[in-house]
Structure 1
């Protein structure tokens, strides 16, 4: 075999290293393309936005319910200001209107109420209208001078409205306990 024939065979012979490098490059390009499409889909997924909005509403509801269940007679003005900042609509108007009378009652009773949220859930969410309904379970501890602290667990139903880019409580009521069905 001549040197020309050997050189020609080497040029035509498969190069395993080059073939492997080309295959890996194609695989890496395909994986990068797939990852990019998947990321874009996840970033623009309506259900992901809905979940984020739901979580934001729930966090605001839990904080607002805790705010409205916590009050110290020694720091009454800042506590009631926080109540007003946490609310909107009719609930806000009721708090502003009844503030003086409520201040008198709390100063006379000399109580300190602290609340801890135990759990919460969004029961309804309308992103477009900026409204949500929630249920929040909490434990409220009331301390009065000269008495033992009293704990009370309760469930609250709240309605939130998005106002100025923030979720605020528009209504808050005690959830019914036990069987509320009418019996004949």
Structure 2
């Protein structure tokens, strides 16, 4: 009988070792499959494209708000935001005309506050680092001592990726015939 018990214990141990080894192998295979899936998804070009598009949209909206929000009592801060939000020829034009812009804004004695109502990325070339964004913007214009008026405008912004992130390289009204086309 003791021999039978020894044989049964030996068989039980062997079966436990086999089951454990099988489960360990299955876990390793699952880990490899899920690891590969995660790595593939993390390095997928379409995922990076989506991230770039989301960055352009988020940063572009904020930059458009920066360009349409200004307090004549603190013009330097506003103009510095314009410079921080821009690149290329637009940045150069702002820098060169900073003194004239400051005087015009202070003479106008108005405060503007902008809010993007809706926006979309219409073009994105992630390899070239360029994009186009359109935005519908409500701007509240308040003259000193006057009543606030809300103006709604549509803007088109050319965006360029710089070493410090996406910035506006051109900003203007949406060309006639472009909206809703």
- Decide: shared fold, TM above 0.5: yes
**Structure 2 residue 143 is the aligned partner of structure 1 residue 144:** yes
Structure whose alpha-carbon radius of gyration is higher:
1
SS of the residue aligned with 1:146?
coil
| Deviation beyond 6 Å, 4+ runs, structure 1 | 13-16, 177-181
Residues 82 and 47 of structure 1: CA distance in aligned 2, closer, same or farther (over 3 Å): same
**For residue 131 of structure 1, what is the aligned residue in structure 2?**
130
**CA–CA separation in structure 2 for the residues paired with 1:50 and 1:128:** 9
- Structure 2: where are the runs of 5+ without partners? none
- What TM-score do you get using the length of structure 1 for normalisation? 0.82
**Structure 2 residue 36 is the aligned partner of structure 1 residue 37:** yes
CA root-mean-square deviation = 2.7
**CA–CA separation in structure 2 for the residues paired with 1:149 and 1:157:** 25
**CA–CA separation in structure 1 for the residues paired with 2:5 and 2:84:** 88
**CA–CA separation in structure 2 for the residues paired with 1:5 and 1:89:** 88
Deviations 1:162-184 (CA, angstroms, capped at 9, x unpaired):
22332111111112467889xxx
SS of the residue aligned with 2:116?
strand
- Structure 1: where are the runs of 5+ without partners? none
Residues 105 and 136 of structure 1: CA distance in aligned 2, closer, same or farther (over 3 Å): same
SS of the residue aligned with 1:147?
coil
